Amino acid sequence: MSKLDGNGRWQSKMTLTEHTEQYEARNELKTSRPTPEEYTMARDYILLPHMLTMIERSIEEIRTSTNILKRLYLIAAQTVMNQIHKDMHSLRRELSKRNIKVINDEQIDLVIYYKIMCRGYEERFGIVRDVVRSEISVRLTNYLKDVAKFLEQYGK
């Protein structure tokens, strides 16, 4: 029941049926399942903070190290961190634009569960820790390839 029911003008000839349909459609709750692309975005949203934590730990280890290439490693790690921050920011913006929220739910044994709320549709999403580790490994390799390409261009 809309707030205009019972109002005599709403039933009059002054209101076009298109306007009535638009008003009623605006107030309907639109629910839709996430697309495969949106599931990938949610997975990335879950993985990127874990990657940042791993890199921060590595930076602390490098700082306490006595390696002569310590400065190079720190610069490379900071470059990767900056790129991950940029990716996280753009991912958050895109998820917000699509009205998708990802919330940490619980961890049972080797599975980490999250809630995905997508335009009124709610679903529980689980990721096995081994999958998280392997996916993080692949992604870090890709970020490091980008750093290596940059260093190769600089050396030429």
CA distance 53 to 101: 21
Q: Is 7 contained in some domain? A: no
Of 53, 61, 45, 133, the closest CA to residue 95 belongs to 45
Write the pLDDT tens digit of every residue in 43-59. 999 999 999 999 999 99
Q: What is the pLDDT of residue 105?
A: 81
Of 103, 109, 106, 102, the closest CA to residue 129 belongs to 109
Q: Is 117 contained in some domain? A: yes
Q: Is 149 contained in some domain? A: yes
Q: How many domains does the chain have?
A: 1
Residue 63 pLDDT > 70 = yes
97 close to 109: Cβ distance less than 8 angstroms: no
Residue 3, helix vs strand vs coil: coil
Q: What is the pLDDT of residue 25?
A: 63
Q: What's the pTM?
A: 0.73
Q: Is 4 contained in some domain? A: no
Confidence of residue 77 (pLDDT cuts 50, 70, 90): very high
Q: What is the pLDDT of residue 150?
A: 85
Confidence of residue 120 (pLDDT cuts 50, 70, 90): confident
Domain that holds residue 102: 32-155
Residues in the chain: 156
Confidence of residue 30 (pLDDT cuts 50, 70, 90): low
